[in-house]
Amino acid sequence: MQSYGHIPEATVARLPIYLRALVDLASTGASTISSEELAELSGVNAPKLRKDLSYLGTYGTRGVGYDIDYLRFEVSSALGLGNTWPVVVCGFGNLGRALANHTGFTQRGFPILAAIDTDPTKIGHTFDGVPVHAPGEMPAVVTGHGIAIGVICTPVGASQGAADRLVAAGVRSILSFSPIVLTVPDDVDLRSVDLSTQLQILGFHLQESADDE
Amino acid sequence: MQSYGHIPEATVARLPIYLRALVDLASTGASTISSEELAELSGVNAPKLRKDLSYLGTYGTRGVGYDIDYLRFEVSSALGLGNTWPVVVCGFGNLGRALANHTGFTQRGFPILAAIDTDPTKIGHTFDGVPVHAPGEMPAVVTGHGIAIGVICTPVGASQGAADRLVAAGVRSILSFSPIVLTVPDDVDLRSVDLSTQLQILGFHLQESADDE
């Protein structure tokens, strides 16, 4: 697999945004796009976009722009999306099941192969193609499925325990939907999604408008 | 209500992160924090944090740091969190219901007062305290509840239609969980959450580690 030099973290965070725009563009039948247009679709300025893509060794052609399919391949490769990273979901309530039904995860190389839940009516059963196991089965689930990533969708009070069990079972990449800050060892890559952050930004704009009136 | 000068969009996007750190800190019983510590908890560098907070007219005390409760009040006020912005959820499947059960929304001033769904077995019933209405009832729902924000949790194919109905009913702030790009008029504030973005960043780091081995 191609090896990239160091890509800055802020660039890494924008690559999924570019990829999403490129996938949308490809679905419209377009074959090339200018850096200005792609930048606008992605909500960044064009010099920043060009700089970001230069880390991938990718440069547009003057007067033509970028080849959409090729750029999509390059960004996907940089993101490791040629690979498959099996996922276990901890907490198989509404949010966990919503993620299991989210076709985008499997398409992007993150198949949800198992779930962990404490509900005895769920354990041992399969929902939406995902088998549900008891918390004590975590080590066997991680080893058996070659789990690379754990996603935490439990109620708040159970989220630190879920993180601890993932870490103990050897999982080193965790995505948390818990609204509290979780504690993990330094060698664990923990990322959080706070579902209310974007709502708060909308609220800020609403208040600005209200203040103007 | 206090009026703020222009706050840069990038600063606005970081305010919820600071607020989250401050709420966690307050729960530990701490009363003050240095800009360096708060910056580290928030994942930014200290000069950026101080600059961001200076837009709120808030400066720490040298050698003491920031008063956590006061800073929390300031950041909340800037985010308009003293206000309440009623929310309608479009699509009341697993994701919509997960949001309705997410206590953080109501706590932060975003109560989910109604849902819209096409499923006749849901319409007319109340789940988790949220009444479900048919798509045609959107205008009455928006007017009746004073809806400020619409959240789109429908299947992909229905998401543009949901956006169109929200806009037609007068909603000017939309949060979309759809993986496709939605089209709305320029005066509509549309923000998107792509649930797989953070997974893709984890995947990038996993690949980097694999390349190093």
Which residue from A119, A121, A101, A120 is spatially nearest to A111, judged by alpha carbons? Answer: A101
B96 and B53: one domain? no
- Interface touch A1/B211, C-beta < 8 Å: yes
Q: What is the predicted pLDDT for the residue at B5?
A: 64
Which residue from B91, B6, B149 is spatially nearest to A198, judged by alpha carbons? Answer: B149
A145 and A47: one domain? no
Q: What is the predicted pLDDT for the residue at B170?
A: 97
Helix (H) or strand (E) holding B66: strand B66-67
3-state helix/strand/coil string of chain A: CCCCCCCCHHHHHHHHHHHHHHHHHHHCCCCEECHHHHHHHHCCCHHHHHHHHHCCCCCCECCCEEEHHHHHHHHHHHCCCCCCCCEEEECCCHHHHHHHCCHHHHHCCCCEEEEECCCCCCCCCEECCEEEECHHHHHHHHHHHCCCEEEECCCHHHHHHHHHHHHHCCCCEEEECCCCCCCCCCCCEEEECCCCHHHHHHHHHHHHHHHHC
A50 and A105: one domain? no
- Interface touch B16/A98, C-beta < 8 Å: no
- Tokens describing residue A51: 């700089």
Q: CB neighbours of B71 closer than 8 A, spacing ≥ 6? A: B18, B22, B53, B58
Residue of A nearest to B19 (CA): A197
Residue that is last in its domain, among A78, A98, A124? A78
Radius of gyration of chain B (CA): 20
Q: What is the predicted pLDDT for the residue at B1?
A: 39
Q: What is the predicted pLDDT for the residue at B144?
A: 95
A105 and A180: one domain? yes
State how far the alpha carbon of A116 is from the alpha carbons of A91, A123, A177, B37, B143, in Å. 6, 8, 15, 35, 42
B73 and B92: one domain? no
Query: How many CA atoms within 13 Å lie on the side-chain side of B129?
Result: 10
CB A146 within 8 A of CB A86: yes
Residue that is last in its domain, among B78, B102, B127? B78
Please tell me the distance from the alpha carbon of residue B85 to that of residue B52, in angstroms, as a whole number.
Answer: 25
A68 and A92: one domain? no
Q: How many domains in chain A? A: 2
CB pairs under 8 A between A and B: 191
Q: How many CB atoms lie within 10 A of CB A62?
A: 6
- Interface touch A98/B102, C-beta < 8 Å: no
Strands B130-133 and A87-90: unpaired
A147 and A164: one domain? yes
Greater confidence, A176 or B23?
A: A176
A99 and A53: one domain? no
B22 and B66: one domain? yes
Residue that is last in its domain, among B78, B104, B126? B78
**Identity of the residue in A20, A98, A189 whose CB atom sits nearest the CB atom of B194:** A20
pTM higher than the cut 0.90:
no
CA distance A173 to chain B (A): 7
Identify whether A49 is part of a domain.
yes
Identify whether B179 is part of a domain.
yes
Identify whether B3 is part of a domain.
no
**Identity of the residue in B13, B104, B211 whose CB atom sits nearest the CB atom of A196:** B104
Q: CB neighbours of A109 closer than 8 A, spacing ≥ 6? A: A80, A81, A82, A83, A84, A85, B203
- CATH code, B106: 3.40.50.720
Please tell me the distance from the alpha carbon of residue B188 to that of residue B173, in angstroms, as a whole number.
Answer: 6
Domain that holds residue A61: 9-78
Q: What is the predicted pLDDT for the residue at A1?
A: 39
CB A173 within 8 A of CB A188: yes
Spell out which residues of chain A touch residue B78, defining contact as CB-CB under 8 Å: 204
Q: What is the predicted pLDDT for the residue at B38?
A: 92
Spell out which residues of chain B touch residue A194, defining contact as CB-CB under 8 Å: 16, 20, 104
A63 and A103: one domain? no
Residue of A nearest to B172 (CA): A206
- The predicted-structure confidence for B119-157, as pLDDT tens digits, reads as follows 999 999 999 899 999 999 999 999 999 999 999 999 888
State how far the alpha carbon of A71 is from the alpha carbons of A26, A67, B181, in Å. 11, 6, 19
B71 and B124: one domain? no
Identify whether B93 is part of a domain.
yes
Amino acid A21 reads A
Please name the residue that has the structure tokens 């849901």. Answer: B122
Identify whether A205 is part of a domain.
no
Identify whether A202 is part of a domain.
no
Q: Which residues of chain A have pLDDT under 50?
A: 1-2
B24 and B118: one domain? no
Please name the residue that has the structure tokens 């200076």. Answer: B54
Identify whether B95 is part of a domain.
yes
Q: List phi, psi (to 5°) of A131.
A: -75, 140
Identify whether A169 is part of a domain.
yes
Residue of A nearest to B198 (CA): A191
- CATH code, A72: 1.10.10.10
Q: How many CB atoms lie within 10 A of CB B189?
A: 17
Please tell me the distance from the alpha carbon of residue A1 to that of residue A4, in angstroms, as a whole number.
Answer: 10
CB A145 within 8 A of CB A171: no
- The predicted-structure confidence for A32-81, as pLDDT tens digits, reads as follows 899 999 998 888 889 999 999 988 877 777 777 888 888 888 888 888 77
- Interface touch B198/A175, C-beta < 8 Å: yes
State how far the alpha carbon of A106 is from the alpha carbons of A66, A138, B153, in Å. 27, 21, 19
Task: Work out the burial of residue A54: count CB atoms within 10 Å of its CB; fewer than 13 is exposed, 13-18 middle, 19 or more buried.
Answer: exposed
- The predicted-structure confidence for B63-98, as pLDDT tens digits, reads as follows 778 888 888 888 888 887 778 899 999 999 999 998
Task: Give the model's confidence band at B202: pLDDT under 50 very low, under 70 low, under 90 confident, else very high.
Answer: confident
